Structure 1
Amino acid sequence: MRFTSEQRLDDGVLEREFTLGEIPGTLWTPASAPAPLILMAHNNGLPKGESRLVARARQSAAYGYAVAAIDAPGCGDRPRSAADEQARADLRRAMQAGEPVDEIFESFIAPLVENAVPEWRTTLDALLSLPEIGGPVGYSGWTAVGIRLAVVEPRIAAAGFFAGGYVPRAQREEARQVTIPLLFLLQWDDEGNPRQRALDLFDAFGSKEKTLHANLGGHTGTPWFEVEDGNRFFARHLK
């Protein structure tokens, strides 16, 4: 892991860009160390520097967590194949037209999850070797990647998922194997994710401790207080 830039924010949080092989990432660490770690993943294709993710990461770091985000293969500024670009365009067109999107989604998102999870695990190995990071690990963000990580990565102790009804078939099956404490956020009027699918997914999780928070509004309308509630959720399991 090679740090390429750093800046100290007003609240004392240290923000550093890094590269790990071909993986670009950002790490936010609080003034107090060592700190528990939260892996923060955004949805398919959005960059680690997306404003909503950065705001969540900085708030969680100020709360006392180390937070890391990476650009997965084909996401952010990382190269995308012509097939990926076509799949994204087809998915947007079908969703706007109200047409069935399951097969397009499956052909596009399932490989993205398969490629992203090994990179997250490699990143986790490197992060846990840093002296400023210690203790349990949490995950916050994109549901599809989070399900796979929760199943294959024993170091993750708790997870917060931003609910999406469109989850690849493999992850819908794997949901039953997720047993860690879980906070599931659902936007009731999400224009891009069917509500009933998200409710069915929540029901499928095997966790004995799982909580559903549902709020009115569209896909990007998650209330800010959910970030604060998420930090308290992680405090129960990571601190």
Structure 2
Amino acid sequence: MHFTSERRLDDGVLEREFTLGEIPGTLWTPESAAPVPLILMAHNNGLPKSAARLVARARHSAARGYAVASIDAVGCGDRPRSAADEQARAELRRAMQAGEAVDGIFESMIGPLVEKAVPDWRTTLDALLELPGIDGPVGYSGWTALGIRLAAVEPRIAAAGFFAGGYVPRAQREEARQVTVPLLFLLQWDDEGNPRQRTLDLFDAFGTEEKTLHANLGGHTGTPWFEVEDGNRFFDRHLK
């Protein structure tokens, strides 16, 4: 892992950009002399690690005493995308705007994204846990489809917070039964991109005995800020 830049932010959080082979990432750490737990934070559907909502969440968690890391995995953020990837994204946007069925398009786009992203995240986790000042346990926060796969296959993840997404690939709907860590699942009641009943069905499918659903009125990007604070309290219970 090679750090390419660092800056101390107004809230005392240290923000460092890094590269790990071809993987670009950002690490936010608090002012702390003691080792701190780690949260892996992923944005939805390949948006960049620099997205404003993700950065705000990351800084808030870091200021509370966590190391927080985000990466641009293969095909995500600023990393190269194939012509097929771009075509699938364009077709998905068109179908959603037209109110057409998107299951087939979604499978062809999101399924491969998850498959490619998981190895990058696990490689990054290996490197992060070797850094001084970062210790387990590890939490995950963000993109539901990716989080399901990581929580199912990565034993170092001890708790997960998912931002509701009823549209997850078929493979991840099946893998939800293998998710046994404590789970906080956020649902936007009027999410235009994720049918409510699909999200409720997915919540039912999770295999964990400790799962909580928070539902709020509003569209996909309308998650109230207090859910970020509640999410940190959730991680406090399970990572500290």
* 1:170-181 matches, cutoff 5 A: 170-181=171-182
Who is 2:230 aligned against? 229
Q: Deviations over 1:101-122 (max 9, x none)?
A: 0000000100000000010000
1:21 aligns with 2:21: yes
Unaligned runs of 5+ in 1: none
Matched, 1:56 2:74: no
Cα distance in structure 1, aligned partners of 2:147 and 2:193:
19
The code of the aligned residue for 1:19 comes to: T
The answer for the alignment partner of 1:107 in structure 2 is 108
Is 1:4 the equivalent of 2:11? no
Tell me the distance in 2 between the aligned counterparts of 1:104 and 1:204.
Answer: 23
**Shift >4 Å, 4+ stretches:** none
Amino acid at match of 1:48: K
Pairs aligned (count): 239
> Take 1:10 and 1:161, find their aligned partners in 2: how far apart are those partners?
28
Matches of 1:192 and 1:181, distance apart in 2: 26
| Matching residue's letter, 1:64 | G
- Return the alpha-carbon distance in structure 2 between the equivalents of residues 129 and 151 of structure 1: 23
Structure 2 unaligned regions, length at least 5: none
Match of 1:194 in 2: 195
Q: What is aligned with 2:211?
A: 210
Q: Give the CA deviation at 1:125.
A: 0.1
Q: What residue number does 1:66 align with? A: 67
When the two chains are superposed, the root-mean-square deviation of aligned CA atoms in Å is 0.5
Question: In 2, distance between residues paired with 1:138 and 1:77?
Answer: 25
Superposed displacement of residue 12, structure 1: 1.2
Inter-partner Cα distance in structure 2 for 1:115 and 1:62 = 31
Mapping 1:116-195, distance limit 5 Å: 116-195=117-196
Deviations 1:102-153 (A, max 9, x none): 0000001000000000100000000000011012000000000000000100
Letter in 1 for 2:24: P
What TM-score do you get using the length of structure 2 for normalisation? 0.99
Residue identity over aligned pairs, in percent, reads: 88
Secondary structure of 2:46's partner?
coil
Q: TM-score, normalised by structure 1?
A: 0.99
Counterpart of 2:5 in structure 1: which amino acid? S
CA offset digits 1:67-105 (Å, max 9, x no partner): 000001111110010000000000000000000000000
Q: CA deviation at 1:11?
A: 1.6
What secondary structure, in the 3-state scheme, does the structure 1 residue paired with 2:57 have? helix
Q: Distance in 1 between matches of 2:42 and 2:78?
A: 15
Question: SS of the residue aligned with 2:162?
Answer: strand
Cα distance in structure 2, aligned partners of 1:209 and 1:115: 29
User: Aligned to 1:138, what secondary structure does the other structure show?
Assistant: strand
